[in-house]
Structure 1
Amino acid sequence: MRIAFFAWLFSITLLLSFGISTVPVHSQCLNDQSSLLLQLKNNLRYNSAVSVKLVNWTQTTDCCRWKGVTCDKEGHVIGLDLNRESISGGISHLSSLFSLQFLQNLNLAYNNFNFTQIPPSFGNLTRLTYLNLSNANFAGQISIVLSSMTTLVTLDLPTLYFPGATSLKLENPNLLKLIQNLTGLKTLLLDGVNISAQASQWCEAISSSLPNLQVLLILRSRSFSFRLGQNNLSAQVPKFFADLPNLRSLHLCSSNLHRKFPEKIFQVSTLEALDLSGNSYLQGFLPQFPSNGSLHTLVLSKTNFSGTLPDSVGNLKMLSRM
C-alpha cells in the first residue's frame, strides 16, 4: 500500500513539475490589436529589403507571434520594438500606433523620421513605462505632452548632433516643465538634445523632480554650456549628483565641463559607471574611495585630473575599466 501511495505521489509530482510547467502559454492576438498593427504597417514607409519585422507582419498569422510584438495574456499588445526597421518619413498624429492603449514598451530607435517633431499623440499612450526614440531623426521642440506620461520609467531621447543640424530641443517647455510630473523616471537619456536652461536651472529641475533617477546621460549636450559675461562657454559639474541616492551611471563625456569636479560624486556607493572623458578643462583628483564602492567603469581620459592614485582604489572590487 505504501509503495502504491508513493508511486502515486511521485507521478503527481512529475505531472506538476514537468507536465504543467512545460506547456507553453501563448496568448492569442485580439482582432482589434491585429487591425491596428496592420494599419500601422501600411501607413509607415520602410525598406522591405532591410526590414526583418514589419515585412513579416501578415493577416494570416497571430500578431502576438510577430517579431517586435509582445502581448499580455489577454492578447493586448503591450510591447512594440521597431528598432532599426529602416522606417523613413514622419509619423502622423492620427497613426493607429497611438490607439494601442495597453502599450507599455515602445522602441522606435535608429529609424529616420526625417527631422519631424515628436507627435503630441504620444500622450495617448498612458500606460507607457519605456519610450526609446533615440537616434531616430526626430527634431524640433519636444512636446509638452511627454510630461503627462507619468508612468514613464525610462525616457530615451538621444539624438546625433552635428553643427548646423536640426536637433531635438527643450526651450518651451523647458527641462523643468518636461520632467516635473515624471517622478518615477529611473533612466533619462538626453545625449545631443539642446537644453536651453543654464546649468543651475536644469540641475535644480532634476534634483527636485526625479528622486528615483539612476541613470543620466547627457553626452555632447549643449545643456552644460552657459555664458558668464565675456568668458568662454563653460559649466561646473553640479554637486547635487552626489545626493542622488540611487545613481548608478553618470556619463558626461565631451560636455565642455570646466573647473573642479566634486569629489563626493566618486563616493556615491551605488555609482557603477562614471565617464568624464573629453572634458580637457575639467580639473580634479581621485579621493579616498568608500569600502562599499560599486564602481566598475571609470573613464577620465582627456581631462585635466592630477595627483596620485589612492590606495583605497583597492576597495573597488568590481573595477574593470579605468
Structure 2
Amino acid sequence: MGIIHSAAAAGDSSARCKGNERAALLKLKQGLIDPSGRLSSWAGDDCCRWRGVRCSNRTGHVIQLRLRNPSPSPDDDDNFLSGEISPSLPELKHLSYLDLSRNRFDGASIPRFIGSLTSLRYLNLSDATFGGTILHQLGNLSRLQYLDLHWLSFPPRPLVVDNFHRISRLSSLRYLDMSAINISAAGDLFDEVTKLPKLSVLRLFNCQLLRLPNTLPPSANFTSFTTLDLSSNYLGPLLLVERENEE
C-alpha cells in the first residue's frame, strides 16, 4: 500500500499536504452532512493532520481516506456521513485507499468519477446505501486489489449488476465482496471472474443467484481461490468445467 504514516506521526515538516489536495478535501467536507462533527478537525493548513486523512511522509500527497462510520450500527443517527460526494475527489491523484463504508448515501449512484481514481488499491463502499447499477464506472481501476460493495441494511434503491464484463479488467484484484447485491442478470459472472489471475476471495452471499452455468471454458482458473462463498442463493445445476480431451 506504500507509505501510510501521516506527516504528523512521522514528524516530517517537509511532508505537508498539497494545496490543491487540501482544497479538494474541503470541497468534499462541504458536500457531506456530518451531524456528529467527525470532520471537525478538517481545518488549518496541514490536511495530513486531519482525522481520517493519511499522507505519504515522503511526498505529502494524500494517499488514504478512512471515513468509515465507527458506530457498531450503520443506522446510528449520530455518526454516519450523508449528503453528496464532491467531484473534487479525483484531485487526490495519489489516493490508494478509500473507505466510505457504513455511511448513508440514500440510494445515490456510486459516483462515476471514482473510476478516475486510478491509484486506488483498496475501495470499500459496503453498507453505505449506494444504489443503481454498479461496476461500469469501476472498470478503470486496474491497480485495485480489494473491492467491498456488500450491504447488510436495505438501501432505498438496491444495487444491481447487469454484467461483469469490465470486472475482468481489474487484473490486480485479490478480494471481491458483493454479498446481498442482485447479480441474477449477470450471466457472465463466472466467465469473467475466472479471468482474474490474482483473485483469492470471492463472496457472493445472498446475491439472488438461481443457477450455476453448466460449463466453463477450458481457460477457467480457480487455482488462486482460497474462499468462494455462494451461500444463501438458490443454485441449480452443478458447475462443470470443460477440459480438452487428453490423449
Is 1:156 aligned to 2:156, yes or no? no
Flag structure 2 segments of 5+ consecutive residues without an equivalent: 1-8, 70-78, 241-247
RMSD over aligned Cα atoms = 2.7
Number of the residue aligned with 2:76: none
Query: 1: CA distance between counterparts of 2:95 and 2:121?
Result: 9
Secondary structure of the structure 2 residue equivalent to 1:70: strand
Number of the residue aligned with 1:184: 172
Distance 1:181 1:24, change over 3 A: closer
Query: 1: CA distance between counterparts of 2:10 and 2:193?
Result: 44
Ranges of 4+ aligned residues in structure 1 off by more than 3 Å:
23-26, 235-240, 257-262
Cα deviation digits, residues 30-83 of structure 1 (max 9, x gap): 222222212211221121x2x43x1221125x2112221111121110110111
Higher relative contact order (CA 8 A, sep 6+): 2
Amino acid at match of 2:126: S
Query: 1: CA distance between counterparts of 2:91 and 2:181?
Result: 28
Q: Is the 8 A contact 1:118 1:139 kept in 2?
A: yes
Number of the residue aligned with 1:91: 85
Q: Percent identity?
A: 35
Number of the residue aligned with 2:186: 197
Structure 1 residue aligned with 2:25, among 37, 50, 56?
Answer: 37
Secondary structure of the structure 2 residue equivalent to 1:122: helix
Q: Is the 8 A contact 2:112 2:137 kept in 1?
A: yes
Structure 2 residue aligned with 1:71, among 55, 80, 89?
Answer: 55
Secondary structure of the structure 2 residue equivalent to 1:56: coil
Amino acid at match of 1:68: G
Q: How many angstroms does 1:156 deviate by?
A: 1.1
Amino acid at match of 1:170: V
Q: How many angstroms does 1:178 deviate by?
A: 2.4
Q: Which TM-score applies when normalising by structure 1?
A: 0.61
Q: Which TM-score applies when normalising by structure 2?
A: 0.78
Q: Is the 8 A contact 2:20 2:91 kept in 1?
A: no
Query: 2: CA distance between counterparts of 1:237 and 1:156?
Result: 28
Q: Is the 8 A contact 1:159 1:167 kept in 2?
A: no
Structure 2 residue aligned with 1:58, among 34, 43, 53?
Answer: 43
Q: Is the 8 A contact 2:100 2:125 kept in 1?
A: yes
Query: 2: CA distance between counterparts of 1:127 and 1:145?
Result: 15
Q: How many angstroms does 1:143 deviate by?
A: 4.9
Cα deviation digits, residues 135-159 of structure 1 (max 9, x gap): 1110001152211111111111112
Q: How many angstroms does 1:236 deviate by?
A: 7.2
Amino acid at match of 2:148: D
Larger fraction in helix:
1
Q: How many angstroms does 1:253 deviate by?
A: 2.1
Query: 2: CA distance between counterparts of 1:30 and 1:90?
Result: 23
Task: State which structure, 1 or 2, has the greater radius of gyration over its C-alpha atoms.
Answer: 1
Instruction: For 1:114-125, list aligned pairs within 5 A.
Output: 114-125=106-117
Distance 1:107 1:138, change over 3 A: same
Distance 1:261 1:203, change over 3 A: closer
